[in-house]
Structure formats: C-alpha cells, structure tokens
Amino acid sequence: MIMPSKLFPVEILLNILINEHLQEYFCLTFVTETKLTVNIPINMSLMIIQPNNSVLAEQILDASEKGCSDYIIQMHEPENFMIAFEKVNHLGDIRRSVKKLIFLPVQDDMNNRSVLTNILALRETGFVANILLVVPSLQSSGDCKVYDMITHTFVGSDEDVQKPLYLDRWDSCTGHFERGVNLFPHNMSNLYGKTVKVAAFTYKPYVLLDLDPSLNSLGRDGMEMRIIDEFCRWVNCTVEIVRDDEHEWGEIYENNTGVGVLGNVVEDRADIGITALYSWYDEFRVLDFSAPIIRTAITCVAPAPRILTSWDLPLVPFTWTMWMCLVFTFFYASFALSIAQRSTDNVFLDTFGMMITQTREDATSWRIRSITGWMLVTGLVIDNAYSGGLASSFTVPKYEASIDTVEDLVDRKMEWGATHDAWIFSIMLSEEPLIKSLLSQFKTYPADILRQKSFSRSMAFSIEHLPAGYFAIGEYITKEAAMDLEIMLDKIYYEQCVVMLRKSSPYTAKLSELVGRLHQSGLMLSWETQVALKYLDFKVQLEVRLSRARKDLEEIEPLSIKQLLGIYIFYFGGVVIALLVFFGELLSKCSKPSIVL
C-alpha cells in the first residue's frame, strides 16, 4: 500500500508494530471492515479479507493455506474472528506454533475497549500464545490518541491465564511507547508453572504410572514420560496426567471427538498425548506431531517350533514330494515288471524287494534282468540317501518349521494381535495383498484372554523392538509363556514415535527443539536402558532376545526308545496288518467247500 501524507493514529501505530514485530514474516492477512493504510516492507506480501460472518472461516482458511497465517483484525465483533480462527485450525493443513494476532479498535471509544478485552475470556483464545490488543486508553485527550497494549496472561496458574496483562502504552503525539517492552512476551521459554495436561496410560517402557514413591518420587516414569518431565523442567510448567486406561490409545471419530489418548487430545481435554503414538496418517489430519522421538520396529513372537514327534521320525529323511515320487516309482516299476514277465504274480512284493536292494531268485528273461538291474541301482541310491537322512535325524533333533517372516505368518493362517487396533493403524491403508491378508488375521482380545492364548500355541503376539535392543512386550506375556515363543526374523514394519498435540499448538516447536537436543546428547538410548533395567521383566526380555538360540543350546542325548518309537510303530503296525491278512486268507480258504474227485 502507498503511504499517504495523512495517517490516522491507529494506522501509524500499526506501521510501527509491523516494522518492529512482524518483519521476519513474509505474508500478513488483514481482516478489516474498514480500509487501513499501511506501508508493507518489500519482503512481505499481504492478503486482505473483507469479513463476511457466514463464510468467514472459509475466507481465513484460504489465507492460511497460502501461508498467510499472521493476522491484523479490525472488526466490530472480533469474537467472530476467534471462533472462525479456531475452526480453521481444525480444518487446515498448515501448522504453525507461532501465530500472531493483532486486534485493532474500530473507533476510539470506551465501548470498543470492552469489546476487545472480552476476547480474552473466550476458550479459543487460550490456545494462542501471541495475541495483542490495541485498546483505546482512558488518557486520550484532544488530538493525542493513546492506546494500551494488552494481551492475556497465558502463563502461570490456571486462575490467571485468561486475565488481561497490561504491556505498554503508545501516545500518538510522542510516537513512542512508554516502556519499550516486548509486545509478544510469550515465547514459551518460561511458563511460570502453567499446567500442561498430558494424556497417557501405562505401557512399558514408554510410560509407567502409579509407581511406588520409593521407586520414583513423582510416581511416574518411562522413556516418553521423562521427555515430558524434562520439557516442563526446561520451560517451567506443571504436568497433570489425563487418563483413559480403558480405551488405551483410543480412536478419533469423524466428528472430531474420540476416546483414549487420541480422544483426549483432539477434544482438548489434554494439551499433549504420549504413549507409543506413531506417525499415523489419519491422526495427522486432525492433530500436530512433534519431531520423531523413537524409531521402533514392530514384529511378533510366535509359537516356537517343537521337536518333531517320534512317530513320524522315519518319514523325516525325505520330503513329502520325495515320498510321492517314490510311490510313483514303485507303481511304475511294478507295471513294467508285470509287462516284462507277462504276469502279475508277486509283482508288488518283488518290486518292493528290489527297491530295498533285494534281488529276485529267478531272472531268466533279459527284460526282467534289465528292469531288475536299474531297480537295484535305484534302490541302492535311495537306501543310502534314506539311511544317511535317518542317521542325521537320530543325531540332530528335527524341529517343526518356524515362523520367520510375514509370509510364514500368513501362510500358516495364524492369528496375531494385541489389546488394541493401534498396532495396525500404520498399515491399514496398504494395498499390498500380503498386508491385506495379514490385517485380516489380526485380532484384539482383553489382556486376560491374551494371557490364556499365550500358552495355547494358537496365536502370535505383536511386540516392539526398540533402538537400544530392548522390547516393549505386553504384560500378558509371562516368563513361562515366553519360553514357548520365538521372535520372528523379519519386521512387519517400522515406525516413528511422536508426541501428539492439537493443531498449531504453541508447545509443538519448543517440544521438537527439546527432542532434537535429546537425540543429539544420546539421552534417549540411555533412558531406554535405564527404564528397561529398572522396570521391565528381565527374564521375559532375555527369553525373547535369545529365543532364536534355544535350539543351539539343546543337549545331545544318547539314543533312547523315544527316537525309535516311530520305527517300532511302523514295524508292529506292519506285523498286525500281515497277521490280519494271513488269518483272513485262512478263513477264506476254510469257508470254501472242498471238492473230492
């Protein structure tokens, strides 16, 4: 805008405010019912909105999405702007922790003074740190207009946060401020004990609540809880825990309400949400995320493979495909032998004998001798291969196939799960057929049901592999259950844990700065180790970590009856069948009438 020769006092003040306090921004939005004349710096652009209460939110949303999220407001009913501004915070995709709002008077009278100061009592104002009210002063006289600079207290006790805070006074005749103080004092460096509400529930090792004071004087601990406590030590705030243990992580509904940690944050019952919250897409649309604090890997502990039962030990040396080939070879050789000898007498018995390297008593025909020769060679190879495999099976224990990958989990059609659907939020939008099949097998159960299933070998359980090598494991998995579980080799997916806040929360930037410092110092890894050693069940951790090495620790035992049981089963089973056939033949012969010539 072009600076005219004559400016109103409020316009002169506005130019000073822009040059001294908004110089670092590249775009401003003017929401004014009257024309304002200002001199905009060359490095700054502006948008002008003629407010229309019926579409005011859409007007502000358009400016915000274009990056013009600092506002100069001059309206007869400024509370309408705050209501629309709060609506835009929920609808828009642009997030900024530091937004500045400057409210100007429409006319220099005392009625307008109360209209502006009443804004500070609105609930919507409590979510914005940098608000400046330019209020006509009682000391204005004649041509000298005096304006008071007022904001809300924002920091300190809950009773004082909405109270007006007098900052400075500007006189149009002198053109100077009386005190020359910072007109946007709330830079989040000192909250003077302000209460910060944190939504959380107990989930080791992220958050532990209701601790014995002898273990922790605050009664709480955990990797993420330490971040919040460190944050409040840094900016001088007071932590208040908001709990919804029944719904754990919870969910957010389409009308922007919800339950659990997520619901507490989206409905502003809490300022901050923690407890292993990942960078979920649906939640990012309605909430703000801090910088990532922990990179976690999600995998499963599945039923460990057991030593194969002894009855099928004779079948172990060959695969089922090999056994099918042997059966085909047997019948094919029997068919060839029956053609060669032009008879089916003892065909199957002779063929079986040759496959175990037992020759025929008579082999007069060259056709029979050729078939006998190659069958004896084939039998020799098969017998030696089988003998070597069987000896290996007796020497080295054979185990069932283990569940190592996502494909194994899907192929076994084994259900996997936990106490909440939050474990699959990160992969629910996947279009991969394998992941879709995996999602269909995910089930949620109460903790007591999961504890029972951990002994039934019918289910796998989702766990987290943390950066320092420890595991986040549900309390429903005990040491006894962990002894029969084995961790998968593959990870289902990786995720970044974040702190969730309301959109454009004034805490986001400061919290992300702290997270960067913690990573830089290595404290996150140190805290994980400290919390794990102090609070986690070390026996369960050890069982899970070494679960893949259990087979290496098996003791070599001397050959016993349990290794030979399968062979005896086949042997005695064959003897019983042979006896039944023998007696059956005797009975059939006895039942035939004898013919005497």
User: What is the DSSP track for 394-452?
Assistant: HHS--BPPP--SHHHHHHTT-EEEESSGGGGGGGTT---HHHHHHHHTEEE--HHHHHH
- DSSP for 440-481 reads HTEEE--HHHHHHHTTTTSEEEEEEE-TTS-EE--TT--HHH
pLDDT digits (tens, 9 = 90+) for 172-207: 888 899 999 999 999 999 999 999 999 999 999 999
Asked if residue 3 has pLDDT above 60, the reply is no
Task: Give me the percent of the chain exceeding a pLDDT of 70.
Answer: 93
Q: What is the mean pLDDT of residues 497-523?
A: 95
Asked if residue 267 has pLDDT above 70, the reply is yes
End position of a domain, from candidates 133, 154, 177: 177
SS3 for 580?
A: helix
Q: What is the mean pLDDT of residues 575-587?
A: 86
Asked if residue 339 has pLDDT above 70, the reply is yes
Confidence of residue 2 (pLDDT cuts 50, 70, 90): very low
- Please give the Cα distance from 105 to 134 (Å, whole number): 7
pLDDT digits (tens, 9 = 90+) for 363-393: 667 777 787 788 888 888 888 888 888 777 7
Q: Is residue 380, in this structure, part of any structural domain at all?
A: yes
Q: What is the mean pLDDT of residues 8-34?
A: 90
The most confident of 386-400, 447-461, 541-555, by mean pLDDT: 447-461
**Which CATH number fits the domain that encloses residue 106?**
3.40.50.2300
Asked if residue 553 has pLDDT above 80, the reply is no
Confidence of residue 460 (pLDDT cuts 50, 70, 90): very high
End position of a domain, from candidates 367, 393, 419: 393
User: Which domain range does residue 368 map to?
Assistant: 312-393
Q: Can you tell me which residue has the tokens 């050890």?
A: 542
pLDDT of residue 110: 59
- R_g of the chain, CA atoms, integer Å: 40
Q: Is residue 238, in this structure, part of any structural domain at all?
A: no
pLDDT of residue 13: 92
- Please give the Cα distance from 314 to 593 (Å, whole number): 45
Angle between helices 78-91 and 56-65 (to 10 degrees): 50
pLDDT of residue 382: 86
pLDDT of residue 273: 97
pLDDT of residue 59: 94
End position of a domain, from candidates 368, 393, 418: 393
Q: Is residue 553, in this structure, part of any structural domain at all?
A: no
- Please give the Cα distance from 518 to 231 (Å, whole number): 11
pLDDT of residue 7: 79
Q: Is residue 41, in this structure, part of any structural domain at all?
A: yes
Asked if residue 494 has pLDDT above 90, the reply is yes
Q: For 138-152, 179-193, 264-278, which range has the lowest pLDDT when averaged over its residues? A: 138-152
Contacts of range 40-48, beta carbons closer than 8 Å, 24 or more positions apart: 40/1, 44/18
Sequence-separated (6 or more) residues with CB below 8 Å from residue 301:
460, 461, 463, 473, 477, 482, 485, 486, 487, 488, 544, 547
Q: Is residue 333, in this structure, part of any structural domain at all?
A: yes
SS3 for 591?
A: helix
Q: Determine whether 440 is exposed, middle or buried from the number of CB atoms within 10 Å of its CB (0-12, 13-18, 19+).
A: exposed
Residue 28 identity? L
- Please give the Cα distance from 369 to 376 (Å, whole number): 10
Q: What is the mean pLDDT of residues 9-18?
A: 91
As a dihedral over the C-alpha atoms of residue 494, residue 499, residue 505, residue 506, rounded to 10 degrees, the angle is -120
Which helix (H) or strand (E) segment is 134 a member of? strand 130-136
- Please give the Cα distance from 284 to 370 (Å, whole number): 77
Q: Can you tell me which residue has the tokens 């057991």?
A: 306
pLDDT digits (tens, 9 = 90+) for 213-245: 888 889 999 999 999 999 999 999 999 999 999
Q: What is the mean pLDDT of residues 141-148?
A: 82
| 154 close to 192: Cβ distance less than 8 angstroms | no
Closest C-alpha to 507, from 231, 294, 201, 93: 231
Residue 301 identity? V
**Number of domains forming the structure of the chain:** 2
- Please give the Cα distance from 41 to 27 (Å, whole number): 10
Domain shared by 172 and 317, yes or no: no
Q: Is residue 420, in this structure, part of any structural domain at all?
A: no
Q: What is the mean pLDDT of residues 415-437?
A: 95
| 318 close to 326: Cβ distance less than 8 angstroms | yes
Sequence-separated (6 or more) residues with CB below 8 Å from residue 248:
201, 203, 260, 261, 275, 419, 420, 422
Q: Is residue 162, in this structure, part of any structural domain at all?
A: yes
Q: Is residue 82, in this structure, part of any structural domain at all?
A: yes
What the block records as the tokens of 60 is 């502000």
Q: What pTM value is reported for the model?
A: 0.82
Confidence of residue 1 (pLDDT cuts 50, 70, 90): very low
pLDDT of residue 593: 64
Domain shared by 159 and 14, yes or no: yes
Query: What does the mean pLDDT of the chain come to?
Result: 89
